[in-house]
Structure 1
Amino acid sequence: METELETTRSRAQPLPPEDRKAMIIAAVIPLLIEHGRGVTSRQIADAAGIAEGTIFRAFGDKETLVQAAIETYLDPEPLRAALRAIDPSLPLEHKVRAIVYLLRERFQNVMRIMAVVGHERPPIPHERTEFAAIIARILAPEADELNWPPDRVAHILRLISFSSAFPALNDGIEFSVDDLARIALVGVAGRPFATYTPMTTAADAADQGEPGCF
């Protein structure tokens, strides 16, 4: 029969190296957002419930840990997985809302970490293409109802989500996820769009001494 001491020892087995690294990274991300690169190894150790020496054994130095945490935070795969999990058979309104919610959350997270640690890496071009392909598959059942092909609608949703994630651009006027989904679905008037042909071009206006429209 297993003794109490043996049970305690079996439950106190050290984490595998990769699991320990993941645990430390999870603890450091909120600290980075709060303190930026000024976060100390002592603060990290306290948050993770470990000794400072464990940090250096796992990562070598604090900067390596910070870089690993930033890469983890910016990893696009969790967003891709969340988008793939959206059921294409759901009503269009539900799908658009879910897409906008996930995209805006992603952009807010990226800007949050960039604000405190600076720009860490250039955008990866294929990320946008891959997101668009995933969203296009979600919207494919309604392709005939859309005003643009699903992959183009994906970029429209991305633009709406991206711009709404910048507090400075909103000038104190916040848009909820429901607001943004409604804008994407019905626009500002909710009626068919008539092709607009300007009566006066900017060049004509300049020739006539009229103020141009910018």
Structure 2
Amino acid sequence: MPPDERRAAILLAVRPVLLERGAAVTSRELAEAAGVAEGTLFRVFTDKVTLIREAVLAAIDPADSVPEVLTIDRTLPLREKLSTLMRQAHSHVGESMRWMGLLHEVGRLEPAGPSAEHREAAIRQWGRRQQAGTAAVTAAVAELLEPDAALLRLPVTDVIELFNTVLIGATMRTVDAARRGLDAGPPDHEQLIDLILHGVLAPTPTDRSA
């Protein structure tokens, strides 16, 4: 297997054990998850911390969700499209937040010095990939909502920003509750869609008669 392919395969294979064990994962567990010997693992990666960091950065790519967005039928009613999109996006954002938490853990383990320069370079490269991935997701969602543009009070791009704000806020609430040992339960996706489409004001008598 070419070096780049082997590297990518290892980064993908260790994801489940990283989500389960976090920064406490051992080199042996990583090697077993990747199906290679520890010596092989560290001929590809400098050390355990580098491997974990690169695996996390590889796992958080917004563009991974584009194929799923494209499976949503553009002819569905607007509410149904938004509800499906919300369920998909909540799953992706929740997992991304778990990865980001692990990235912070790893950051505390990395020593200062020359390796810090490589770490910063990797973060910058990841940032560029994030920007491109986010743009790809936005384009896919815009294509999904475009048939309903005439029904919307705001431009499609503004609706997407509002959707993202509600999505991230709801996800952060769930993640924060779990961090404090509380069970907030999953967000009510239909309630979130109601908020996006209708706000929080009760219908006026004029609205009811329309």
Distance between the aligned counterparts of 2:146 and 2:205, measured in 1? 22
Say which is worse superposed, 85-94 or 108-117, in terms of deviation.
85-94
Mark the CA change 1:147 to 1:190 in structure 2 (over 3 Å): closer, same or farther: farther
1:24 aligns with 2:30: no
TM-score by length of 1: 0.69
| Aligned residue in 1 for 2:54 | 68
Distance between the aligned counterparts of 2:103 and 2:205, measured in 1? 44
Structure 1 alignment gaps of length 5 or more: 1-14, 195-214
Greater relative CO (CA pairs within 8 A, separation 6+)? 2
Residues 100 and 158 in structure 1, CA contact (< 8 A), matched pair in contact too: no
Percent identity among equivalent residues? 30
Mark the CA change 1:130 to 1:46 in structure 2 (over 3 Å): closer, same or farther: closer
User: Where does 1:86-101 land on structure 2 (aligned, <5 Å)?
Assistant: 86-101=72-87
User: Where does 1:81-160 land on structure 2 (aligned, <5 Å)?
Assistant: 81-118=67-104, 121=123, 128-160=134-166
Mark the CA change 1:72 to 1:88 in structure 2 (over 3 Å): closer, same or farther: same
| Aligned residue in 2 for 1:79 | 65
TM-score by length of 2: 0.70
How many residues are paired up?
A: 180
CA RMSD, Structure 1 to Structure 2 (Å): 3.1
Return the offset for 1:154. Answer: 0.6
Residues 18 and 25 in structure 2, CA contact (< 8 A), matched pair in contact too: yes
| Aligned residue in 2 for 1:177 | 189
1:39 aligns with 2:39: no
User: SS in structure 2 opposite 1:148?
Assistant: coil
User: SS in structure 1 opposite 2:14?
Assistant: helix
Structure 2 alignment gaps of length 5 or more: 108-122
Mark the CA change 1:68 to 1:180 in structure 2 (over 3 Å): closer, same or farther: same
Residues 36 and 117 in structure 1, CA contact (< 8 A), matched pair in contact too: no
Larger Rg: 1 or 2? 1
More helix by percentage = 2
